[in-house]
Amino acid sequence: MTETSPQIQASPPPQGEPFQETVPLTAEHLLINRRPEPTGGWRRLVWQVSGGRITPAESSAELERRTLIAQAQTPVASGHHRIAVMSLKGGVGKTTTTVALGNTLASLRGDRVIAIDANPDRGTLGLKVKSETAATIRTMLAEAPHIMRYADARAFTSQSPARLEVLASDSDPAVSEAFDADDYRTVAGLIERYYSICITDCGTGLLHGAMGATLELADQIVLVSLVAVDGANSAAATLDWLTAHGHSDLVRNAIVVLNAVEPKSDVDVSLLERHFAARCRSVIRVPYDPHLKEGAEVDLVRLRPTTRGAYLRLAAAAGQAFGQRQDRSR
């Protein structure tokens, strides 16, 4: 007769006492004094010289960075999350913000992130990554019935080194102007099947065909403004319009990006920040960066550290909404 080992079972708590939360059996919880490998600076030098035996405590800046990364990596609770990047005024860095936010999220996450160009005029989103295909949002629409797998959708996109995929618009304004609300809903439905996060680069008009559907489907918006008087007024007017047209929930949950496209400005940025912080969920300052001024492909590696930090804060602010289950009945 084979002897069997006794089975150890967890005893239930006494009647009336709640179960206590189980501590996860992970290395982070079980290994004493385990600290992550330093990424740079004097802490990494000490770690290297000591052969990994000495790991200096993290600075407040490093702890903040880890927190921001964790927020940007928040799983998408609803399975798919749509971010609309918008501005009433052109030339404020809206498309650059779209790609920089997308690149930052894609570089930190393990799921798929895509940016699409919903500009009714000649959009420039496709110029911000190295082109891998001549396909556009219009050709994806034409082939929509035949897109059955992720590989089918991937044939219409270009991918950045950070793993962000971009679906470009047509270069001919006469063609792209026909892109309307129904077209956007069709593309959004396709994107939802294969990607966790979709970032839409909107046009500058609030009344063009695709904008209504974009706002209807958006889970949150990123409003981009110049650090300038006219830019700030345009951004404030956009918030007023959204509130007046039934999108007050998007306004309350909005992220405002204050973009500095010049090295110096006489505008009181702190005053701008306080104004928008009183109306929206978060305000992010993006400093002037010569790489972004080039207007070409956006490469996170070529950005100044302060600029990369600003986009990490933007990604973290966006990530704070990923854990919410969105109401798709809107």
- Which of the given ranges, 54-63, 155-164, 226-235, has the highest pLDDT on average? 155-164
pLDDT confidence bin for 4, thresholds 50/70/90? very low
Answer whether residue 169 shows pLDDT above 70. Answer: yes
Query: Secondary structure of the chain in the HEC alphabet?
Result: CCCCCCCCCCCCCCCCCCCCCCCCCCHHHHCCCCCCCCCCHHHHHHHHHCCCCCCCCCCHHHHHHHHHHHHHCCCCCCCCEEEEEECCCCCCCHHHHHHHHHHHHHHHCCCCEEEEEECCCCCCHHHHCCCCCCCCHHHHHHCHHHCCCHHHHHCCCEECCCCCEEECCCCCHHHHCCCCHHHHHHHHHHHHHHCCEEEEEECCCCCCHHHHHHHHHCCEEEEEEECCHHHHHHHHHHHHHHHHCCCHHHHHCCEEEEECCCCCCCCCHHHHHHHHHCCCCEEEEECCCHHHHCCCCCCHHHCCHHHHHHHHHHHHHHHCCCCCCCCCCC
Tell me how far apart the alpha carbons of residues 131 and 165 are, in angstroms, rounded to a whole number.
10
* pLDDT score at 172: 65
* pLDDT score at 194: 97
Query: Domain limits of the chain?
Result: 27-67, 76-319
Tell me how far apart the alpha carbons of residues 244 and 271 are, in angstroms, rounded to a whole number.
24
pLDDT confidence bin for 191, thresholds 50/70/90? very high
Residues 6 or more apart in contact with residue 143 via CB below 8 angstroms: 152, 156
Structure tokens at 230: 């006219």
Residue-level length of the chain: 330
CA-wise closest residue to 140 among 95, 99, 176 = 176
* pLDDT score at 38: 74
Answer whether residue 41 shows pLDDT above 70. Answer: yes
Percent of the chain scored above 90 by pLDDT? 55
Cβ–Cβ under 8 Å, residues 17 and 25: no
* pLDDT score at 276: 95
Query: Secondary structure of 32-65 in the HEC alphabet?
Result: CCCCCCCCCHHHHHHHHHCCCCCCCCCCHHHHHH
Cβ–Cβ under 8 Å, residues 239 and 87: no
Q: What is the pLDDT of residues 60-105, one digit of tens each?
A: 888 898 899 999 999 999 999 999 999 887 788 899 999 999 999 9
* pLDDT score at 259: 93
Answer whether residue 10 shows pLDDT above 70. Answer: no
The CATH code for residues 76-319 is 3.40.50.300
Q: What is the pLDDT of residues 228-261, one digit of tens each?
A: 888 889 999 999 999 999 999 999 999 999 998 7
* pLDDT score at 166: 95
* pLDDT score at 89: 77
Answer whether residue 15 shows pLDDT above 80. Answer: no
Percent of the chain scored above 70 by pLDDT? 84
Cβ–Cβ under 8 Å, residues 149 and 132: no
Tell me how far apart the alpha carbons of residues 170 and 155 are, in angstroms, rounded to a whole number.
16
Cβ–Cβ under 8 Å, residues 312 and 104: yes
| Whole-number average pLDDT of the chain | 85
Tell me how far apart the alpha carbons of residues 118 and 121 are, in angstroms, rounded to a whole number.
9
* pLDDT score at 60: 80
Tell me how far apart the alpha carbons of residues 319 and 323 are, in angstroms, rounded to a whole number.
8
Answer whether residue 22 shows pLDDT above 60. Answer: no
Classify each residue of 58-68 as buried b or exposed e, where b means 16 or more C-beta atoms within 10 Å of its C-beta: beeebeebeeb
Q: What is the pLDDT of residues 112-135, one digit of tens each?
A: 999 999 876 667 888 888 889 989
* pLDDT score at 46: 79
Q: What is the pLDDT of residues 198-230, one digit of tens each?
A: 999 997 777 677 888 999 999 999 999 998 888
